[in-house]
Amino acid sequence: MRLKGKVALVYGAGGAIGGAVARAFAHEGATVYLAGRTPATLDVVAQEIAANGGRCRVAPVDALDEGAVARHADAVAAESGAIDIALNAVGIPHVQGVPLRELSLEEYERPVHAYLRAHFLTARAAARHMTSRRSGVIVALSTPAARLAFPGVLGFGTTCAAIEGLCRHLAAELGAEGVRVVCLRPDALPEAVVRGSHSRAVFGSAAARAGATIEQLLAGRADASLLKRSPTLAQVASAAVFAASGEAGAMTGAVLNLGCGSVVD
């Protein structure tokens, strides 16, 4: 078990990616604290973890609420004695597929403000406890929109590029205090759409504007990759486990490219 004895805090744990990573962390021996805004979806993940012999706790937390994030992290550290891993898999509805001439300032700014606020708040709350022990790993999520230039993703593309930049600077801030920061960059995940992720609404509106179905849109993304397929939730979860484990102990300020070759680094 690569994470035996570790304490992992997963924000957005009721979502498709957050849930998959939380289950993988628990399977590898971590005690997982599931945080998110929807107790019902968190409870489903918690029940699956418990049914497989894992250990977890559930708490409703809005990752955009500064006080709530800080209080929850403090409570986790007080109860468990540490926060070893913090992963932010929060998904925030936003607009894609809208051309610049039709894009409102509010639609452009929504993902930029919300995602960067959530990542900053959750990283800071966890880091305060990690640095005191000079050990910990912060894991974030981005997408190939951080690197690719194509129309319709002005707000979200800017957001993903900023998240990757934030991770590099967090790594510089925290490295001397023993804390690593790694960003995962998967491409679109058809499984997440099927599981009711917020991405279904995002891709749905973009597909409608393009005169296609969501399935056709995702198939096009897969066909544009070097491997001619999409990543899976299991592959993203496995990468998160690796990033959080001692096997990646020399890695920080890095982006793990999980796009099946949609972007070549």
Contacts of 22 (CB under 8 A, 6+ apart): 8, 10, 13, 32, 34, 45, 49, 56
27-48 pLDDT, tens digit per residue, is 999 999 999 999 999 999 999 9
Contacts of 233 (CB under 8 A, 6+ apart): 16, 17, 20, 189, 191, 192
Q: Percentage of the chain with pLDDT > 70?
A: 99
- Three-class DSSP labels, 207-222: HHHCCCCHHHHHHHHH
- Rounded CA gap, 8 and 122, in Å? 13
As a whole number, mean pLDDT of residues 198-227 equals 83
Q: Which of 66-70, 84-88, 191-195, 201-205 has the lowest mean pLDDT?
A: 201-205
As a whole number, mean pLDDT of residues 51-55 equals 98
86-119 pLDDT, tens digit per residue, is 999 999 988 888 999 999 999 999 999 999 999 9
pLDDT at 216 over 90: no
Q: Which CATH class is domain 7-189+232-257?
A: alpha beta
**So what's the pLDDT on residue 196?**
61
Contacts of 23 (CB under 8 A, 6+ apart): 45, 48, 49, 52, 54, 237
| Residue whose pair of structure tokens reads 């998240």 in the numeric block | 163
As a whole number, mean pLDDT of residues 199-226 equals 82
Mean pLDDT for the chain overall: 95
pLDDT at 201 over 90: no
Alpha helices (H) along 28-104: 39-51, 66-80
β-pairing verdict for 254-258 and 179-186? parallel
As a whole number, mean pLDDT of residues 155-177 equals 98
User: Considering the entire predicted model, what is its pTM?
Assistant: 0.94
pLDDT at 209 over 80: no
